[in-house]
Chain A
């Protein structure tokens, strides 16, 4: 039976990271941008888990970090969505290109 090794998982996590980055840079809708950020975070989580499992199986530090990041991500999502709602109230849009008042 095929058992995935560390490299397989790292490959997936890297792919996930760059998909997130691409989404973050190209998407105009703030909600999708937020989702891209979640993808980036999750790729990091995946890395932590993988390194923990394959390199130091008897330790739990990676797991703790992952749980910590999930909690942070939840909080961050709440804040981000609050910001998006406020943006919608003032701009009647959640297109990121409309929120560009803070320039030179």
Chain B
């Protein structure tokens, strides 16, 4: 049996690393900080695997159903009877899965950074930030209370801000971290309002009580939440939509996706962490956590989730086909894959056969973590070798980076959904869930999976094949003698590649399902033909265009001038946001506000100050320094008091 201490230690170990390295790292652990953080995280990983093993195989199942297991609940702030902010631990299948994913990917990133960030001036700071990031995400997934999740949700935002802006002397990094923080913070406002509405109607902030009250048909709380409406939509649907806005902000869903590509300014291993295990999957996790409420009580909100996910998946995939910065391609591919997870949740139903989407979404989250971390770390190796992010500087690297080449290929095959790699299985489930419920989304998803294969292999051929390798001409004629970066960089690649290749064979449906009962993931051979065919077509087109250096891509790009250009410019979303903020918000809101601030608010304060100054100037002559004058005032006052007492004070 597991106790609360063991589970609490999983997030607390990275926190300890953050505190120790953050406070003393620069002075005492300048060189050893990486090792310390890695060892702490290794311990956390082992504990997480132990916890997950214990939950899934030993005691999690009660009568064949995975129950929520709450080993710790401590009331932190009591608002009123029943409404309190608790600090607690809640284990359920998705929490256990997330614990393993987060700690494992974070551990890989820690190991990888040992070499990648070597020689960095703020090495210890980097590791302390990584610790904080891991801690906040781990604490987020074990939260038992909506408000607790919100607290750690914000902490994730802060730590991503710190890490994206790690190179704070680079203006683009500073702009990127501000953008990430502001966009997600803006979305979090929706989340907060959603929480408040939910707690208002359900009378609790505790997850299990909240879900239970809001999903029991006929319960007083549910009927209250459904009957009160605003603009024709029930309060509960509004609450869930607002919560989803928060989730969409963190997960970079359309139309809040603008921050994620810019977040590439951070160090590459951090991108791996953000994209694979922390931050962006937090949104998916949140929707999954509140899934019963979505599915049983607010199906309209769930439909919104589905469409937003599908649109994000498609748009991001189109944009990814045109980008030339390899990290940006990966960033858009993340948006696209997270979109898959979202619409898989969106098309799912609660329990039974219809709950396939939920399982598929979580399965895809799991496999995606493996291959996306691998892709980013592989890209990191390439960038480390080439000192450039641009695809045009690369080509023919397969001879120089053999391990990276093979592992990157595995990751590309996995994300493209080619059997028997991990992505095939999870994508398969997502597609069949979509097929059962919504044909429009199914076709979007199918087309997107072809696009995914195309842009990933465009990347793969662009980096490892294409031009003949002549390193001396590139990157300013620097000779690259340091090779692939040693054992610390290879080990995570190999481990993750193993995961990306084999994770698909886990019978995921047995462990994670919307109602905890477990479901057999049915596998239909005929059904798989279409997606695999789409994937292979994408790969062959990419091969035809990019394997050898030629001018075909340029000709095609030129022939699709308008589409290519707008996709290359990310469909002008940044410009739209800039237009809205700079032209509309600044002119119509910020400027009048500034005027009022300068003239009215400041004016009042200044007027008070000026009046005081004026009066004091007039009367300061009274304090003349002449003793006799003071004595005269005193006398006059004494006489006045005497007169007062004698004649009035009877």
Binding site for B on A (CB under 8 A): 21, 24-26, 33, 96-97, 99-104
Interface 0/1 of B614-634, CB less than 8 Å to A: 000000110111111001100
CA distance A33 to B624 in the complex (A): 19
Q: Identify the interface centre among A21, A25, A26: most chain B CB within 10 Å of its CB.
A: A25
| Cβ-defined contact, B635 with A25, below 8 A | yes
List A contacts of B631 (CB < 8 A): 24-25
- Closest 3 pairs (CB-CB, A-B): A103-B625, A100-B625, A104-B620
Set B620, B621, B623, B628: member contacting A96, Cβ < 8 A: B628
- Besides A96-B626, A99-B627, 12 more A-B contacts (Cβ < 8 Å) are A24-B628, A25-B628, A25-B635, A96-B628, A99-B625, A100-B626, A102-B625, A103-B624, A103-B626, A104-B620, A104-B621, A104-B623
Q: Given the complex, which residues of B lie within 8 Å of A101, measured CB to CB?
A: 625
A90, B640: Cα distance in complex, Å: 37
Closest CB in chain A relative to B53 CB, distance in Å: 80
Q: Report the minimal beta-carbon distance from A87 to chain B, rounded to whole angstroms.
A: 11
Residues of B within 8 A of A100 (CB): 624-626
Q: How far is the CB of B623 from chain A (nearest CB, A)?
A: 5
State the CA gap A102–B627 with chains docked (Å). Answer: 10
Chain B residues within 8 Å of A33, by CB: 628
Alpha-carbon gap, A26 to B629, bound state (A): 10
Which of chain A's residues have a CB closer than 8 A to the CB of B621?
Answer: 104
Evaluate contact between A21 and B635: CB separation under 8 angstroms.
Answer: yes
B residues in contact with A104, CB < 8 Å: 620-621, 623-625
When chains A and B are docked, how far (Å) is the Cα of A25 from the Cα of B630? 9
Partner of A97, one of B620, B626, B632, B635: B626
Chain A residue at minimum C-beta to C-beta distance from B626: A100
Task: Jot down 25 A-B pairs with beta carbons below 8 A, ordered by A.
Answer: A21-B635, A24-B628, A25-B628, A25-B631, A25-B632, A25-B635, A26-B628, A33-B628, A96-B626, A96-B627, A96-B628, A97-B626, A99-B627, A100-B624, A100-B625, A100-B626, A101-B625, A102-B625, A103-B624, A103-B625, A104-B620, A104-B621, A104-B623, A104-B624, A104-B625
Residues of B within 8 A of A (CB): 620-621, 623-628, 631-632, 635
Residue of chain A at shortest CB distance from B635: A21
B384 to chain A, nearest CB (A): 70
What is the CB-to-nearest-CB distance from B140 to chain A, in angstroms, rounded to a whole number?
61
Residue of A nearest to B617 (CB): A104
Residue of B nearest to A26 (CB): B628
B628 pairs with A103, CB closer than 8 A = no
- Nearest Cβ in chain B — how far from A100, in angstroms? 3
B236 vs chain A, min Cβ distance (A): 68
- Distance from A91 Cβ to chain B, minimum over Cβ atoms (Å): 13
In the bound complex, what is the Cα–Cα distance between A99 and B624 (angstroms)?
11
Which chain B residue has the least Cβ–Cβ distance from A27? Answer: B628
Closest-by-CB residue of B relative to A30 is B627
Contact of B623 among A21, A26, A103 (CB under 8 A): A103
When C-beta atoms are compared, the residue in chain B nearest to A103 turns out to be B625
From A24, A96, A104, name the one whose CB has the most chain B CB atoms within 10 angstroms: A104
Q: Tell me the complex Cα distance, A102–B625, Å.
A: 5
In whole angstroms, how far apart are the Cα atoms of A97 and B623 in the complex?
A: 14
- Point out the residues of chain A lying under 8 angstroms from B635, CB to CB: 21, 25
A98 to chain B, nearest CB (A): 10
Smallest distance from the beta carbon of B550 to chain A beta carbons, Å? 88
Which residues does chain A contribute within 8 Å of B627, judged by CB atoms? Answer: 96, 99
A99 to B557, CA, bound (A): 92
In the bound assembly, the distance between CA atoms of A21 and B631 in angstroms comes to: 9
Interchain CA distance A29-B178 in the complex, whole Å: 73
A99 to B621, CA, bound (A): 16
A25 to B636, CA, bound (A): 12
A99–B626 alpha-carbon span in the complex (Å): 7
Give the docked Cα–Cα distance between A80 and B626 (Å).
17
CA distance A24 to B625 in the complex (A): 16
